[in-house]
């Protein structure tokens, strides 16, 4: 049966307007005022906003760190995503050193296939670069993964500058884009060693061994390498002025560099790690890398969004339970598994803290939560905008009902949320995934996961 969404305020990245939406099968087939349809299932969206399904460009589900495994797998993580209006996630399929990218794809496909409530795609994280991988990258792009990630920190994951140079040169030739985790790994190692030698144990020290300067340095370095080979790139999880101003300067010079930030860097700050005398382990909940920064960076990042320095928002959802996982490092902050949850709450936080507080417009919100992710990672115009012919990934949202985020009311499979007590505006009433009604009146109405692998097209160099 076809579906007719009536009287909603449709929000696109370029405009907001009142119209009806007719869905047939997987696609939107008509957007007009006063559509009539006798045999349709009719959803009354009067007073509601109608958004394109949101795209989270950055998740880590079912990730084994070697010591422990994220508490959310694809099943629980994508259910939480859908309940928060996210209809597509991009997870990081990570190469094992000594192994191939195709093997990583197979492993991640096994985790995600028939086990995902929203659609999913992968960025391929390369942890060892060599002639074989260089060749294989093209096949990976052809298989529908036009984006890669390289780490500049974490000894188990990072590659050196020579590899970065080669990978960027290669990515340009094959129509791919690489995202970089920008922190100077050598300096982190030196600072951490000195900190441990001084006997420092508490979470207060986590951000002190990973200061903003080393994020700024790595960001500047990778942009310079990309400029040498004239390759586009993007910077994942930008946290601070030191990184943002490097991206801004590069954009001004015409370098094709793009920026992602995350809600945690816009809304939470370094005080979460406690002060120097704090002996509690509360700060363990916020241990991630790069760490939360001094509060003054928050306004700088919001401005960066407004001025198109930051292009999209991912969550970097990487959840570990506070009890039994984070507390592996209760006596040593450097052993705490890095990462925090957030896939369920991204839209609510960005709407309440961004749109309601006049930091961004509704249309900008759609751009950074959906349209730009779709464009950068080869899914547009199928996804990322409400257009005739697009896939019917749709969120219907009632802005009038307010509620409070708590670990007690979340779908994320983790025993805390970093946003505990945040009051948020509005409630998602309905979610459609490829035309399937999956959330009705705020409740998940399907039992079987319907998410499919999304093949991304090659990166479009001339789009910006």
Could you tell which of ligand URP, Zn ion, none binds residue 362, using a CB distance below 5 to 8 A set by kind?
A: none
Under the binding rule (CB under 5 A), the answer on residue 317 touching Zn ion is: no
- Closest distance to Zn ion from the beta carbon of 316 (Å): 4
Could you tell which of Zn ion, ligand URP, none binds residue 293, using a CB distance below 5 to 8 A set by kind?
A: none
User: Which residue among 20, 73, 269, 316 contacts Zn ion (CB under 5 A)?
Assistant: 316
- Closest distance to ligand URP from the beta carbon of 317 (Å): 9
- Closest distance to ligand URP from the beta carbon of 287 (Å): 7
Residue 299: strand, helix, or coil: helix
- Closest distance to ligand URP from the beta carbon of 318 (Å): 4
Residue matched to tokens 């903003």 = 212
Could you tell which of ligand URP, Zn ion, none binds residue 75, using a CB distance below 5 to 8 A set by kind?
A: none
Binding residues vs ligand URP (CB under 6 A): 60, 181, 288-289, 316, 318, 338-339
- Closest distance to ligand URP from the beta carbon of 62 (Å): 13
Quick one: 269 or 393, whose CB is closer to ligand URP? 269
Which span (81-89, 124-132, 174-182, 361-369) binds Zn ion, by CB under 5 A?
174-182
- Closest distance to ligand URP from the beta carbon of 264 (Å): 9
Quick one: 60 or 172, whose CB is closer to ligand URP? 60
Which span (298-306, 308-316, 322-330, 422-430) binds Zn ion, by CB under 5 A?
308-316
- Closest distance to ligand URP from the beta carbon of 181 (Å): 5
- Closest distance to ligand URP from the beta carbon of 442 (Å): 30
Q: Which is nearest to 70 in space by CA: 101, 103, 87, 92? A: 92
Determine if residue 316 is left, alpha or beta; phi over 0 gives left, psi from -120 to 50 gives alpha, anything else beta: left
Contact indicator for 286, 235 with CB cutoff of 8 Å: no
Write the DSSP assignment of 167-178 as a string of letters.
HHHHHHHHT-EE
Quick one: 154 or 453, whose CB is closer to ligand URP? 154
Total site size for Zn ion, rule CB under 5 A? 2
Contact indicator for 125, 151 with CB cutoff of 8 Å: yes
What tokens appear for 287 in the block? 């241990």
Quick one: 20 or 316, whose CB is closer to Zn ion? 316
Quick one: 298 or 390, whose CB is closer to ligand URP? 298
Q: Which is nearest to 439 in space by CA: 112, 133, 83? A: 83
Quick one: 158 or 249, whose CB is closer to ligand URP? 158
Q: Which is nearest to 44 in space by CA: 84, 1, 4, 11? A: 4
Contact indicator for 393, 26 with CB cutoff of 8 Å: no
Helices marked H in 175-254 — which ranges?
185-197, 212-229, 241-252
Determine if residue 25 is left, alpha or beta; phi over 0 gives left, psi from -120 to 50 gives alpha, anything else beta: left
Quick one: 95 or 390, whose CB is closer to ligand URP? 95
Query: What whole-number distance in Å separates Cα of residue 412 and Cα of residue 79?
Result: 8
Could you tell which of ligand URP, Zn ion, none binds residue 288, using a CB distance below 5 to 8 A set by kind?
A: ligand URP
- Closest distance to ligand URP from the beta carbon of 183 (Å): 9
Q: Which is nearest to 436 in space by CA: 133, 118, 45, 75? A: 118
Could you tell which of Zn ion, ligand URP, none binds residue 82, using a CB distance below 5 to 8 A set by kind?
A: none
Residue 326: strand, helix, or coil: helix
Query: What whole-number distance in Å separates Cα of residue 172 and Cα of residue 327?
Result: 42
- Closest distance to Zn ion from the beta carbon of 125 (Å): 9
Quick one: 76 or 338, whose CB is closer to ligand URP? 338
Provide the 10 A C-beta neighbour count for residue 83: 23
Quick one: 316 or 385, whose CB is closer to Zn ion? 316
Residue matched to tokens 């900008």 = 364
Rule CB under 5 A: which of 97-126 touch Zn ion?
none
Quick one: 115 or 338, whose CB is closer to ligand URP? 338
Contact indicator for 297, 241 with CB cutoff of 8 Å: yes
Phi, psi of 310 (to 5 degrees): -95, 130
Under the binding rule (CB under 5 A), the answer on residue 181 touching Zn ion is: yes
Residue 108: strand, helix, or coil: helix
Write the DSSP assignment of 275-318 as a string of letters.
-TT---SGGGGG--SSPP--THHHHHHHHHHHTTSS-EE---B-
Could you tell which of Zn ion, ligand URP, none binds residue 366, using a CB distance below 5 to 8 A set by kind?
A: none
Query: What whole-number distance in Å separates Cα of residue 330 and Cα of residue 396?
Result: 42
Which span (201-209, 274-282, 313-321, 453-461) binds Zn ion, by CB under 5 A?
313-321
Contact indicator for 455, 121 with CB cutoff of 8 Å: yes
Binding site for Zn ion (CB under 5 A): 181, 316
């Amino acid at each position: 049966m076809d579906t007719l969404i009536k009287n909603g305020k449709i929000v696109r990245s370029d405009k907001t307007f009142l119209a009806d939406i007719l869905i047939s099968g997987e696609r939107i087939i008509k957007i007009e005022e006063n559509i009539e349809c006798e045999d349709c299932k009719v959803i009354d969206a009067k007073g509601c906003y109608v958004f394109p399904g949101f795209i989270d460009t950055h998740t880590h589900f079912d990730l084994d760190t070697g010591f422990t495994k994220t508490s959310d797998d694809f099943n629980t993580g994508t259910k939480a995503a859908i309940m928060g209006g996210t209809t597509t996630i991009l997870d990081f399929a990570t190469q094992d050193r000594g192994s191939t990218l195709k093997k990583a794809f197979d492993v991640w496909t096994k985790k995600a296939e028939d086990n995902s409530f929203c659609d999913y795609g992968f960025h391929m994280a390369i942890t060892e670069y060599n002639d074989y991988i260089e060749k294989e990258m093209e096949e990976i792009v052809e298989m529908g993964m036009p984006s890669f990630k390289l780490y500049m920190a974490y000894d188990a994951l990072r590659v050196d500058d020579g590899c970065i140079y080669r990978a960027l040169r290669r990515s340009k030739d094959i129509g791919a884009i690489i995202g970089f985790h920008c922190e100077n790994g050598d300096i982190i190692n030196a600072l951490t060693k000195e900190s441990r030698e001084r006997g420092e144990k508490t979470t207060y020290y986590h951000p002190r061994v990973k200061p903003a300067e080393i994020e700024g340095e790595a960001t500047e370095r990778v942009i310079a390498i990309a400029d040498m080979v004239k390759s586009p790139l993007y910077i994942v999880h930008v946290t601070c002025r030191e990184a943002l101003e490097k991206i801004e300067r590069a954009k001004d010079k015409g370098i094709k560099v793009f920026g992602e930030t995350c809600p945690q860097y816009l809304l939470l700050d370094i005080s979460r790690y406690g002060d120097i005398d704090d002996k509690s382990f509360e700060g363990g909940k916020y241990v991630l890398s790069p760490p939360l920064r001094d509060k003054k960076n928050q306004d700088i990042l919001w401005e960066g969004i407004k001025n198109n320095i930051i292009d999209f928002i991912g969550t970097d959802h990487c959840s570990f339970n506070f009890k039994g996982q984070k507390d592996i490092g209760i006596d040593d902050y450097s052993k705490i598994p890095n990462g925090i949850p957030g896939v369920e709450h991204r839209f609510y936080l960005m709407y309440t803290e961004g749109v309601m507080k006049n930091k961004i417009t509704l249309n900008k919100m759609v751009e950074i939560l959906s349209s730009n992710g779709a464009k950068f990672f080869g899914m547009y115009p199928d996804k990322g905008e409400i257009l005739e012919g697009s896939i019917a990934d749709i969120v219907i949202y009632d802005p009038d009902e307010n509620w409070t985020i708590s670990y007690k009311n979340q779908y994320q499979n983790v025993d805390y949320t970093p946003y505990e007590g945040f009051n948020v505006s509005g409630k998602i009433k309905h979610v459609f995934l490829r035309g399937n009604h999956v959330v009705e009146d705020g409740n998940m109405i399907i039992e079987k996961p319907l998410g499919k692998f999304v093949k991304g097209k090659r990166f479009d160099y001339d789009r910006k």
